Structure formats: C-alpha cells, structure tokens
Amino acid sequence: MLVTERRKQRSGDPSLLASMYRNWTGSWENLKAGRVWTLVTSAFSHSEMGHLFMNMFTFYFMGSAVAQMLGPKHFLTLYLFSAVTSCLGSIAWESYVGRNSRGLGASGAIDAVLGFLACAAPRMTFMIYGIIPVPAWLAVGGFFAYDVYGTAMDNRPGVGTAAHVTGILTGIAWYLVLFA
C-alpha cells in the first residue's frame, strides 16, 4: 500500500492505488461488490513501514510460541480465520458508527494469537517496551481494555481498534473451543 501510494504521487496514475483499495483492504463496499477475498488479503496489506514492522515483530515472537503449541496447520487456520473475523468486526463497527472506511493490516489476526497465548500460557512473561515484565493474561487484558476504550470513545483515528478487539476475542474463543 505504501509503495503504491508513492508510485501514484510520482506518476499521477491512480489506477494502481484503486486496485489496491479494491483487492487489499477490507470494507463494506468491497463485500457488497463480492470481493470476499479482501477479508483475508487485507491482513497482508500495510500502509506504513512502522505498522508492518510492529506487526511482524510481535508476530515473530508470539506467533512462534503459538505455532509450537498448535502445529503449523492449526496455527495457519487460527491466523486466517482470525484475519477474517477481525476484518468483519472492523467492517461491522465502522458500518454501525456510520463510516465507510477501509481496514488493513495484520493486527487483528496477531491479536487473536495474543488472545490464544494469554489463555494457553497466562503466566508467560511479556516484556512491555522490552523492559517491563508483565504476565501474558495481564498484558493482553490491558491491550484489550485499551482497544475497547479506543473503540467506544473513537479516539484513535486510523487505528482498527474494533479489529483488535475482535481478534483478541477470536483467540480466546479458539482456545476455549480447543481446550475447554
């Protein structure tokens, strides 16, 4: 997405960016047009390098632990399923509040991995900012509360807080279905 926007600025040709919006972002408009694949492809599209870096950093450390617990097939299923549910959660929320915005990024699916991990290994230590040790259940509970508040107050424009909330809930539900 970032590369596409820069190319559009240089060339003045909006067609590539329009194609990205149609095929790589989650939106009510895309679903109405039958582009259901965007429920998955939006999780592989990022608008900024920092956004991509933070998602992949978290995914690398937390995803590795969950992949070892579940095995590759079940891990991939969790990841793709939560990409879909978090995108749907974001679209539903945006529609509810009367916006037709587009969502993108892996955060919702990664938050599902975090939600699962907090249930499977609640005492695992997360290092917040690399220096503050916090048990997984407390860290993920804090992330969840922060995103619920952000969604309810609508105070984090450009951040898919509803996707984050839906992702964490999906990860918790996944754990409960498998292990409860």
Task: Give the pLDDT confidence score for residue 9 in this predicted structure.
Answer: 59
Task: Examine residue 63 and state whether it is found in any structural domain, yes or no.
Answer: yes
Contacts of 136 (CB under 8 A, 6+ apart): 114, 117, 118, 121, 122, 123, 124, 125, 126
**Segments forming the whole domain that contains residue 141:** 47-179
Stated pTM of the model: 0.90
| Three-state secondary structure call for residue 157 | coil
pLDDT along the chain (180 residues), means of 10: 56 75 94 97 91 92 95 97 98 92 94 98 93 97 97 89 98 94
Task: Examine residue 145 and state whether it is found in any structural domain, yes or no.
Answer: yes
**DSSP characters over 110-131:** HHHHHHHHHHHSTTPEEEETTT
The CATH number given to whatever domain includes residue 98 is: 1.20.1540.10
Q: How far is CA 72 from CA 20, 29, 116, 133, in A?
A: 29, 33, 15, 28
**Count of domains in the chain?**
1
Task: Examine residue 38 and state whether it is found in any structural domain, yes or no.
Answer: no
Task: Examine residue 70 and state whether it is found in any structural domain, yes or no.
Answer: yes
Task: Examine residue 100 and state whether it is found in any structural domain, yes or no.
Answer: yes
Task: Give the pLDDT confidence score for residue 15 in this predicted structure.
Answer: 76
**What is the DSSP code (8-state) at residue 134?**
E
Task: Give the pLDDT confidence score for residue 116 in this predicted structure.
Answer: 98
Task: Examine residue 10 and state whether it is found in any structural domain, yes or no.
Answer: no
Task: Give the pLDDT confidence score for residue 111 in this predicted structure.
Answer: 98
Task: Examine residue 2 and state whether it is found in any structural domain, yes or no.
Answer: no
Task: Examine residue 113 and state whether it is found in any structural domain, yes or no.
Answer: yes
Task: Give the pLDDT confidence score for residue 7 in this predicted structure.
Answer: 56
Task: Give the pLDDT confidence score for residue 1 in this predicted structure.
Answer: 54
Cα separation, 95 vs 64, whole angstroms: 34
Task: Give the pLDDT confidence score for residue 176 in this predicted structure.
Answer: 98
